[in-house]
């Protein structure tokens, strides 16, 4: 049994039995993803609250601010290289065709989300540093293995992050490499199930020591569980993990919602994201007094565009918005 296992369903999970019976086709294991970014996804109400509060609070009936790992293409490529090197002798890819991307198809790897259309993405090192400053008096926060929750098709592993002075979680096991996570801003995630639905099977050519991914026969794809690692920052009711508005604007992006939705979608979410970024860019330029100066000085104009671009991520939008702004001077 897994330590801290909690089932959110009545009865045994039939998907786990598939692996025992051998009906799940072979897939890459073990695989380690080096993750350096985390995300918090929310709906429109949550978005408005985060900018109003200047940061992230715990839920109404919780003392945690919930975050997920961001696994991008570079992380998948790095994990694949490490997985190939782990064989003795080191293995190769057949015709240099990547295989791991064929298996990293669960919701944990998708750009879409079940929780909303608005995503805040931060470097893991940055958010841990902020938490250390605001909740730990500059000390390293403690990372502990909180629980593993077994849903019908999802295994959620939760790592709680809390102040060293908090005694509430001292009985939970220390998360391996926790100190390294804080110092280097990198977390090594080792999921055992990555695909949700297995459309491919891993094939090894023993003679050439090569791996390839082969599609399974039509109508033979297997549904299976998928792993999800969550970070639960301990934030008590009334407290806020604070970020200034420019940081929130830079970290904000829009995302489509998954077909399984746990919150209400926002139809015009892309326009909403642009609005928040635009407003924050204009406020920043106003505060540092660059609007009028940019009208008379090419250097100030260039600086203003650069600041606007850093907050919105849109060069064309930056120039057009500043043209409109300066028309009032």
Does some domain include residue 170? Answer: yes
Q: Please check whether residue 263 lies inside any domain of the structure.
A: no
- Helices 298-312, 315-326: axis angle to 10 degrees equals 130
Task: Give residues with Cβ within 8 angstroms of 11, minimum separation 6.
Answer: none
138, 212: one domain: yes
Q: Would 261 be classed as within a structural domain?
A: no
Q: What is the pTM of this model?
A: 0.82
Q: Specify which residues 144 forms β-bridges with.
A: 160, 174
For 127-145, what is each residue's pLDDT tens digit? Answer: 999 999 999 999 999 999 9
Let me know: does 272 contact 47? Beta carbons within 8 Å. Answer: yes
The whole domain housing 237 covers: 5-254
**Hey, which residues does 126 pair with through a beta bridge?**
none
Same domain, 249 and 309: no
Can you list the positions of beta strands (E) in 57-106?
A: 64-70, 92-93
Q: pLDDT (tens digit, 9 = 90+) per residue, 256-278?
A: 777 665 666 677 878 888 888 88
> Are both 200 and 315 inside the same structural domain?
no
Domain end, chosen from 254, 280, 314, is at: 254
Assess whether 173 and 293 both reside in one domain. Answer: no
**Angular region, 217: left φ>0, alpha ψ -120 to 50, beta rest:** beta
209 and 178 share one domain = yes
Judged by DSSP in three states, 140 sits in coil
Distance CA 280, CA 289 (A): 14
Give the side-chain half-sphere CA count within 13 A for 268.
5
Question: Comparing 156-165, 216-225, 313-322, which segment has the lowest mean pLDDT?
Answer: 313-322
Give me the residues paired with residue 15 across strands.
none
| Last residue of one domain, picked from the residues 202, 226, 254 | 254
Q: Is residue 264 part of a domain?
A: no
Residue 243 resides in a domain: yes
Residues 160 and 276 in one domain: no
Residue 153 lies in a domain: yes
* Domain count across the chain: 2
pLDDT of residue 295: 44
- Residue 156 inside a domain? The answer is yes
Indicate the average pLDDT of the chain: 82
- Of residues 283 and 18, more confidence is placed in 283
Q: Give tens-digit pLDDT for 173-183.
A: 999 877 789 88
């Amino acid at each position: 049994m897994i330590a801290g296992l909690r089932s959110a369903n009545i009865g045994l999970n039939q998907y786990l039995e598939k692996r025992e019976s051998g009906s799940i086709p072979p897939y890459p294991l073990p695989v380690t993803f080096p993750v350096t970014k985390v995300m918090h996804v929310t709906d429109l109400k949550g978005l408005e609250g985060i900018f109003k509060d200047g940061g992230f609070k715990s839920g109404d009936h919780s003392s945690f601010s919930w975050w997920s790992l961001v696994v991008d293409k570079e992380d998948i490529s790095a994990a694949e290289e490490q997985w190939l090197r782990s064989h003795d002798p080191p293995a190769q890819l057949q015709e240099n065709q990547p295989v791991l991307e064929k298996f990293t198809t669960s919701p944990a790897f998708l750009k879409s989300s079940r929780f909303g259309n608005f995503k805040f993405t931060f470097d893991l090192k940055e958010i841990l540093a902020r938490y250390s400053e605001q909740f730990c008096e500059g000390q390293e926060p403690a990372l502990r293995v909180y629980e593993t929750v077994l849903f019908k098709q999802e295994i959620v592993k939760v790592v709680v992050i809390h102040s060293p002075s908090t005694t509430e979680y001292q009985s939970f096991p220390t998360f391996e490499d926790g100190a390294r996570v804080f110092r280097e801003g990198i977390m090594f995630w080792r999921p055992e199930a990555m695909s949700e639905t297995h459309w491919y099977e891993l094939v090894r050519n023993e003679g050439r020591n090569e791996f390839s991914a082969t599609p399974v026969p039509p109508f033979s794809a297997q549904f299976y569980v998928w792993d999800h690692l969550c970070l639960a920052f301990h934030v008590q009711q009334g407290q806020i993990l604070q970020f200034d508005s420019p940081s929130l604007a830079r970290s904000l992006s829009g995302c489509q919602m998954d077909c399984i939705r746990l919150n209400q979608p926002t139809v015009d979410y892309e326009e909403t994201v642009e609005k928040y970024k635009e407003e924050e860019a204009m406020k920043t330029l106003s505060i540092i007094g660059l609007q009028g100066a940019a009208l008379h000085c090419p250097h100030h104009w260039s600086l203003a565009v650069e600041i606007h671009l850093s907050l919105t991520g849109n060069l064309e939008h930056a120039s057009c918005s500043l043209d409109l702004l300066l028309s009032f001077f």
